[in-house]
Amino acid sequence: MNTKPSRNHPKALLLTAFGTTIPAAYATYESMGQQFSEAFPDREIRWAFTSAFVRKKWKSRGKDILSPAAALAQLADDGFKEVSIQSLHVIHGYEYHDILKTARGLEGLPKSIEKITVGEPLLSDHNDYQRLCDILHAHAKVFRQPGEALLLMGHGTSHPANIAYAGLQEYLRHTDATIYVATIEAFPAIAQVIPQLRKAGIDTVWLMPLLTIAGDHVLNDMAGEKEDSWRSILVKEGFTVHMHPTSLGQIKDVVQMWIEKVPDGRSF
Ligand code: CO
């Protein structure tokens, strides 16, 4: 339930994600929100989804989820003067830059929010890359046997920030050379990673999303039965393929990375 600013909740934190229509993946956002509210007990926590398609779908199910602009307007109407927006995106792509534009557009309007700060996505600086590598390496130990590869499914984008995936691959090479990165929509594609798996003598591959939540892309593009899913492609290429459909938002240590990106988070 929305509350007004008060001595206990002087500021608000707007968690912003693409959104999902898949209820199980939506539950991941809810548990991430829980982790944020434990970290920021003195902040009013709200949500915004950037995808109009996703919001429309939830509206038809009777649930109103606001866009970032509408959520900020609501916070302004509720009397909040300071709002932090935390991007729950993985890289600095179009979605993140759209949040920046929205924040700039709505900050300082008359009788509105005076200060809007925006927290960066998961993979921003050197420490983020190194920390994510370490977390994924430790996480994979739980299910993966020696000699088996872990292939992470990133989203990929035509935005210049797509280089983050190649960057992550380079960091992984130093930490755990049996973890690979490919993307659904851009470079590197799975076709570019398969020859590397062969060259490394890999015959068993675990697939795992490098995505905030395990929604439609995981159900269909990663683990689906259709012949162009990554599972099908790898099986057809002769690999033994296992699924590990745990998303980044389901790994507490990764959510903690996002939590630490909340602007001036430590001062509360
Ligand atoms: Co997509």
Sorted by where each starts, the structural domains of the chain and their CATH numbers stand as 11-122+251-259 (3.40.50.1400), 126-250 (3.40.50.1400)
Report, in angstroms and rounded to the nearest whole number, the Rg of the chain calculated over CA atoms. 19
Q: Which two tokens stand for residue 127?
A: 């420490």
Q: Are 244 and 217 in contact (CB under 8 A)?
A: no
For residue 130, report the distance from its CA to the centre of ligand 1, in Å.
25
217 is catalytic: no
pLDDT at 24 over 90: yes
Q: Give the amino acid at 79.
A: G
Helix (H) / strand (E) containing 7: none
Tens-digit pLDDT profile for residues 94-121: 999 999 999 999 988 888 899 999 999 9
For residue 217, report the distance from its CA to the centre of ligand 1, in Å.
7
Tens-digit pLDDT profile for residues 183-218: 999 999 999 999 999 999 999 999 999 999 999 999
Percent of the chain with pLDDT over 90: 92
For residue 212, report the distance from its CA to the centre of ligand 1, in Å.
11
For residue 109, report the distance from its CA to the centre of ligand 1, in Å.
33
At how many degrees (to 10) do helices 23-39 and 252-259 cross? 60
Place 4 in a pLDDT band, splitting at 50, 70 and 90: confident
The SS3 assignment for 133 reads helix
Q: Are 21 and 57 in contact (CB under 8 A)?
A: yes
Catalytic residue among 89, 92, 139, 155: 155
CA distances from 228 to 13, 66, 214, 224, 235 (A): 39, 34, 18, 8, 11
CA distances from 93 to 47, 90, 110, 111 (A): 19, 8, 30, 31
> pTM value?
0.95
